[in-house]
Structure 1
Amino acid sequence: MAAQKQLPRFVEFGKKIIGIGRNFSEHAVELGNAVPTEPVVFLKPSTAYITWPNPIKMPDGASEIHHEVELGLVIGTDGRNIPESAALSHIGGYVLALDMTDRILQMKLKSTGLPWALAKGFDTSCPVSDFIVKDKIPDPQEVDLWLKVNGKMRQEGNTKNMIFSIAFLVSWLSRHFTLERGDVILTGTPSGVGPVKVGDVIECGLGTVAKMSFPVVEGN
């Protein structure tokens, strides 16, 4: 029980951020990608985390980065080879998250067959809300996601439209990585992703449960 009480501090002790790409079919299509038949996985380092009031910093050499609003799963109980029927019991809570992406660099890396780490894992590339206790989201597979840039709506979606369900993702990932308390799984973003530049303000929300806002500033 004491370990569970520490979960709101997951950004301080969580060891990994596991991202799922292309988990909404319309988002895959808008980027010219095929709809996947199994999860597309990437990792971010824990140094990617930021919380309010810290700003999103433009990475070196980039003139714009793309926003991707997501539901994050905070692992509450360690597990390996977790059956899908038990997957939700390993989730300790949730978080509203942004997967900030240097899209131009990502496309360059993809075109040469190289991994996406530099485009996905730069400092401040994973802004997150406060920890959301599990009871606040009785059905994580039925929650709205939205995002605005400078007051204009860019992204609207619902987790019911995921290609791979939350329970499936936890189970499938646990066959490849031991999931540890404090780890976060980013479950994918709906369509409408797009660029932001220095001076823009991103506002996003998870239904009526969580909301956050981050400015984009010059990196240093």
Structure 2
Amino acid sequence: MKLLTFRRRGEGISRIGALTLQGEVVDLSSAHTSYLHEKEEASSKHLAITSLPSDMAEFIRGGQASLKAAEMALTYVQEKKDQKMTLGPNVEKWVMSQEEVEFLPPILHPGKMISAGMNYQEHLADSGSDAPEMPVAFSKFYSSLVGHHGKIYYTDQTTTLDYEIELAFVIGKKGKYIKRDEAMDYVYGYTIFNDVSERTLQFREMKQGLLLGGKNMDTFGPLGPWIVTKDEIEDPHNLRMILKVNGEIRQDSNTKYMMFHICDQIAYWSSLMSLHPGDLFATGTPSGVALGRKPHPELYYLKPGDRIEASIEGLGILMNQVVREPKDK
């Protein structure tokens, strides 16, 4: 199943949706409420909110109950579509085209987001770093996240603005001291992440032994377009990943080149801290970033107007555009 967080255009309310095989967006809560109403089940609105919350992390915590309710809603919608009925009891559309919705980050407020660094051998040459002996990472804040088609802000402080395509995975259940051979049981699904970075600030910080601002400015975390549940991905360690800027391929690699696999990362980090449903992990980027394009990386850093397409096999395409930060921000 492909799950997303969205807003209907013109509304301020975030909703949970699922993608149909035709690429349309189903409002799961609205459809499930209508299903319960039609079946004349008591307190249908309450039951729908309980089974299908508007927050993705809560949806994930619901486990199989949430997925079963979502599948029920999708089946119900398809039946009504076959009957050419698209309005629920509150005159809300159950099914919308992607153009009718605003994509939000699939998880709006992850409890934690751990971003792997130096996890592709080929990327180490970009920064001149040695291979780490254990998984290493930095934190990303949810205030940096934007969704599919979201804008990436260019400011006076971002003259060396860079891109990094990454496979991200979502934790599905709570755990600590997770064994490596059991780690994949804790994965809920996968999505695409672009670890936007301000290189000048990043390396100024790293000289002091820390890293925060260069990775966490507003809009530095494009995420999406949706979460693909793990049952749809046969092998997350064999997925082609491509990033284009204005149609030009900048990164072209495969997740099989990760040094520390997903199970390694879960086992290591869960030995230090508890993992919770909705926690996000970004697994690192391959080579091809602007930083590594010697001798003139300045020709490849992102500028206002640049359009970025990050695609990972089986997960879709995450598209964003660089714009100057609005003055009234």
| TM-score of the two chains, using structure 2 as the length reference | 0.63
Q: What is the distance in 1 between the residues matched to 2:233 and 2:165?
A: 17
1:141 aligns with one of 215, 231, 237: 237
- 1:192-203 matches, within 5 Å, as 192-194=288-290, 195-203=301-309
Distance verdict in 2 for CA 1:134–1:59, change over 3 Å = farther
Whether 1:106 aligns to 2:202 is yes
Cα distance, 1:161 vs structure 2: 0.7
Cα distance, 1:134 vs structure 2: 1.1
1:123 aligns with one of 191, 204, 218: 218
| Number of positions where the alignment pairs a residue of Structure 1 with one of Structure 2 | 219
Distance verdict in 2 for CA 1:104–1:49, change over 3 Å = same
Q: What is the distance in 2 between the residues matched to 1:211 and 1:146?
A: 9
Give the conservation status (yes or no) of the 8 Å contact 2:192–2:315.
no
Give the conservation status (yes or no) of the 8 Å contact 1:22–1:188.
yes
> Match for residue 322 of structure 2?
216
Distance verdict in 2 for CA 1:165–1:124, change over 3 Å = same
Q: Deviations over 1:72-108 (max 9, x none)?
A: 0101111111111110010001111111111111111
Cα distance, 1:112 vs structure 2: 2.8
Mean Cα displacement is larger for which, 22-31 or 207-216?
Answer: 207-216
Q: What is the distance in 2 between the residues matched to 1:79 and 1:162?
A: 23
Cα distance, 1:58 vs structure 2: 2.3
Amino acid aligned to 2:221: C
Q: Which has the higher contact order (CA 8 A, sep 6+)?
A: 1
Amino acid aligned to 1:116: L
- Percent of pairs with identical residues: 32
Amino acid aligned to 1:192: G
Mean Cα displacement is larger for which, 66-75 or 35-44?
Answer: 35-44
Mean Cα displacement is larger for which, 21-30 or 8-17?
Answer: 8-17
> Match for residue 92 of structure 1?
188
1:15 aligns with one of 103, 108, 111: 111
Give the conservation status (yes or no) of the 8 Å contact 1:39–1:164.
yes
**Which runs of no fewer than 5 residues in structure 1 stay unpaired?**
none
1:167 aligns with one of 239, 246, 263: 263
> Match for residue 152 of structure 1?
248
> Match for residue 64 of structure 1?
160
| TM-score of the two chains, using structure 1 as the length reference | 0.93
Q: What is the distance in 1 between the residues matched to 2:313 and 2:269?
A: 26
- 1:169-208 matches, within 5 Å, as 169-194=265-290, 195-208=301-314
Amino acid aligned to 1:119: G
Q: What is the distance in 2 between the residues matched to 1:103 and 1:28?
A: 15
Cα distance, 1:60 vs structure 2: 5.3
SS at match of 1:56: strand
Amino acid aligned to 1:147: L
Distance verdict in 2 for CA 1:151–1:94, change over 3 Å = same
**Which runs of no fewer than 5 residues in structure 2 stay unpaired?**
1-50, 52-58, 68-103, 291-300
> Match for residue 83 of structure 2?
none
- 1:6-45 matches, within 5 Å, as 11-45=107-141
SS at match of 1:128: strand
Distance verdict in 2 for CA 1:41–1:59, change over 3 Å = farther
Mean Cα displacement is larger for which, 203-212 or 161-170?
Answer: 203-212
Amino acid aligned to 1:123: D
Amino acid aligned to 1:61: Q
Q: List structure 1 segments (4+ residues) > 2 angstroms apart after TM superposition.
A: none
Relative to its length, the structure with more helix (as a share) is 2
**RMSD of aligned alpha carbons:** 2.0
Whether 1:51 aligns to 2:157 is no
Q: What is the distance in 2 between the residues matched to 1:110 and 1:39?
A: 17
